[in-house]
Amino acid sequence: MTLSTTLRAAAFGLATLAGASAAQAADITGAGSTFVYPILSKWSADYSTKTGNKINYQSIGSGGGIAQIKAGTVDFGASDKPLNSDELAQAGLGQFPVVIGGVVPVVNVKGVEAGKIAFTGPLLADIFMGKIKKWNDPAIAAVNAGLTLPEGNITVVHRSDGSGTSFNFTNYLSKVSPEWKEKIGEGTAVQWPAGVGGKGNEGVAAYVKQITGSIGYVELSYALQNKMAYGAMQNAAGKSVQPSLKSFQAAAASADWKNAKDFNLVVTNAPGDESWPITASVFVMMYKQPKDAARSKAALDFFKWSLENGQKQAEELDYVPLPVDLVQQIEAYWAAQIKL
Partner 1 sequence: MTPALAPTDAAAQRSVIDGRADRGFRWLVTAAGVFVLLSLLGAAFSMFWGGREAFATFGLKFLYTDVWDPVNHQFGALVPIYGTLVTALIAMLIAVPVSFGIALFLTEVAPPWLRTPVGSAIELLAGIPSIIYGMWGLFVFVPVMGTHIIPFLSAHLGNLPLVGTLFSGPPLGIGMLTAGIVLAIMVIPFIASVMREVFLTVPTRLKESAYALGSSTWEVAWDIVLPYTRSAVIGGVFLGLGRALGETMAVTFVLGNAHQLTASLLMPGNSIAATIANEFTEADSEIYLSSLVALGFLLFIVTFIVLAIAKLMLMRLARREGQA
| Binding-site member from 28, 40, 66, 107 for partner 1 (CB under 8 A) | 66
Beta bridge partner(s), residue 30: 57, 76
Sign of the Cα torsion 173, 174, 179, 180 reads positive
Q: Cβ closer to partner 1: 197 or 323?
A: 197
Burial of 116 (0-12, 13-18, 19+ CB in 10 A): middle
* 187 binds partner 1 per the rule CB under 8 A: yes
Residue 268 near partner 1 by CB under 8 A: no
Residue 122 lies near partner 1 (rule: CB under 8 A): no
Q: Which of 141, 143, 206, 294 is the binder for partner 1 (CB under 8 A)?
A: 206
- Do residues 79 and 264 lie in contact, with contact meaning Cβ atoms separated by under 8 Å? no
Which residue of 31, 40, 47, 64 would you call a contact of partner 1, by CB under 8 A?
A: 64
Query: Under 8 Å CB-to-CB from 299, ≥6 apart: which residues?
Result: 28, 30, 55, 75, 76, 286
* Residue from 199, 239, 246, 312 in contact with partner 1 (CB under 8 A): 199
Q: What share of the chain is helix, strand, coil (3-state, %, to 5)?
A: 45, 20, 35
Contact 17, 201 (CB under 8 A): no
Between residues 115 and 150, which has the closer beta carbon with respect to partner 1? 150
Q: Which residues of 66-88 are buried (b: 16+ CB within 10 A; e: fewer)?
A: bbbbbeeebbbbbbbbbbeeebb
User: Quick one: which of 2, 5, 49, 191 contacts partner 1 (CB under 8 A)?
Assistant: 191
Which class for 7: exposed (0-12), middle (13-18), buried (19 or more C-beta within 10 A)? exposed
| C-alpha closest to that of 300 among 262, 264, 340 | 340
Q: Which one of the spans 104-112, 186-194, 232-240, 252-260 is the region binding partner 1 (CB under 8 A)?
A: 186-194
Q: How far is the CB of 170 from partner 1 (least distance, A)?
A: 8
Single residue of 36, 55, 60, 241 touching partner 1 by CB under 8 A: 60
Shortest distance, position 63 Cβ to partner 1, whole Å: 4
Task: Using CB under 8 A, pick the residue from 68, 120, 155, 234 that binds partner 1.
Answer: 155
Residue 186 sits in the site that holds partner 1 (CB under 8 A):
yes
161 binds partner 1 (CB under 8 A): yes
Closer residue to partner 1 in complex, CB, 116/131: 131
* Least distance from partner 1 to the Cβ atom of residue 273, Å: 32
CB 151 within 8 A of CB 269: no
Q: Which of 35, 43, 47, 61 binds partner 1 (CB under 8 A)?
A: 61
On the 0-12 / 13-18 / 19+ scale of CB atoms within 10 A, 31 is buried
Residues that bind partner 1 (CB under 8 A): 60-64, 66, 153, 155, 160-163, 184-192, 194-199, 203, 206-207, 210-213
